[in-house]
Structure 1
Amino acid sequence: MFSFYKIFKNKNWETVVKSLFVNCEDGTNIGKLRIHKLISKLKKDLSFNISSLIINFISSESIFELNKIYLRHNYPTDIITFNYSGSHSNLDGELFISVEDAEINANRFKVSLNNEISRLVIHGILHLLNYDDKKKSNRLLMKRKENELLKRHYFV
């Protein structure tokens, strides 16, 4: 009998999160399996479930437009997070990450692009879990949690 499970298991598909979709604009090469593995680890570490999570890797122009239209911010950003459910334990949301801004950040902070992409994904997940970075004290708490998770998963 043909077994899909054995095929997927042999190709590291056991870490794929069924309700996670990773989209890349304009053929951007992002390691989708690596993103699935990171989300799988974060689910365990931070104790949340996913109803639906979409992670979009887009251009700086696209994220600027989203920021202007939906958040009424007339400035660039590297990530935008939308929480569609309001739930902080069963996530239903969408992350938009600017690959170009991630590359700029990676060069600025002298880290790999994979490290910076992982940091942005973690940052977005923390927002979906109700972490806030508007006040300085909350921003520091969120940054500490990001760094802790990056270290735990060997990105730092």
Structure 2
Amino acid sequence: MNVLFDNRQDAFDVSENLKEKIVECIETALKVEKIEINNIEVSISFVTNEEIKNINLEFRNIDKETDVLSFPMDFEFSEEGMPYILGDIIISTEKSIEQAKMFGHSIDREILYLVCHSVFHLLGYDHIEESDKLVMRNKEKETMKLMEVFKNEEEF
């Protein structure tokens, strides 16, 4: 598992402990999905509200900030020894701080949930239809439970 971190914001200090928990979160989500590819690569970028708003406008034609964006890597090309690139996750730390306060839990917990949510998007899940939303939410809940990270927790 190779997780590439890119920090392009200064609203929140992304600790080494949080990075380790993010890697664990991705690995746990893949186990929930019964994916056993060892050479997986995911990139995670921490950005400002302004940057995520611009990305949201460019790629989704939605002119507002959001908490997280997921960009699956959809290509068939693979060469032996190359990592399987799952995709990119872009997180607004400002939105994460706001939502953590709203839900009454830590910012780390909020970011872990957003990573979990995004991994399932990278794996092809969506929540547009209610039935799909239920499946995706159950996978998210199972992942967070296996990690022992729960709602309304101030620390983990």
Q: Same fold (TM over 0.5)?
A: yes
Q: In the TM superposition, what whole-angstrom CA distance separates every residue of 1:117-145 from its partner, at most 9, and x where no partner exists?
A: 11100100000111111123322322222
Q: What's the C-alpha RMSD, in Å, of the aligned pairs? A: 1.9
Between the aligned residues of both structures, percent identity stands at 26
From 142, 145, 148, the counterpart of 1:154: 148
CA distance in 2, matches of 1:45, 1:81: 19
The answer for unaligned runs of 5 or more in structure 1 is 1-16
Shift of 1:91: 4.5
**What does residue 23 of structure 2 align with?**
36
**What does residue 46 of structure 1 align with?**
33
From 95, 105, 109, the counterpart of 2:99: 105
> TM-score, with normalisation over the residues of structure 1?
0.78
**What does residue 95 of structure 1 align with?**
89
Whether the aligned pair in 1 keeps the contact of 2:25 and 2:143 (CA below 8 Å) is no
Closer, same or farther in 2 for the Cα pair 1:26/1:77, shift >3 Å? closer
For residue 109 of structure 2, give the secondary structure of its aligned residue in structure 1.
Answer: helix
For residue 70 of structure 2, give the secondary structure of its aligned residue in structure 1.
Answer: strand
CA distance in 2, matches of 1:91, 1:129: 11
Shift of 1:34: 2.1
Shift of 1:59: 0.8
One-letter amino acid of the counterpart of residue 23, structure 1: D
Q: Which has the larger radius of gyration?
A: 1
Closer, same or farther in 2 for the Cα pair 1:117/1:76, shift >3 Å? same
For residue 9 of structure 2, give the secondary structure of its aligned residue in structure 1.
Answer: helix
CA distance in 1, matches of 2:43, 2:34: 19
For residue 26 of structure 1, give the secondary structure of its aligned residue in structure 2.
Answer: coil
CA distance in 1, matches of 2:7, 2:30: 22
> TM-score, with normalisation over the residues of structure 2?
0.78
Shift of 1:86: 5.3
CA distance in 2, matches of 1:105, 1:113: 8
The answer for unaligned runs of 5 or more in structure 2 is 77-83, 151-156
Structure with the bigger RCO (C-alpha within 8 Å, sep 6+) is 2
Whether the aligned pair in 1 keeps the contact of 2:28 and 2:143 (CA below 8 Å) is no
For residue 108 of structure 2, give the secondary structure of its aligned residue in structure 1.
Answer: helix
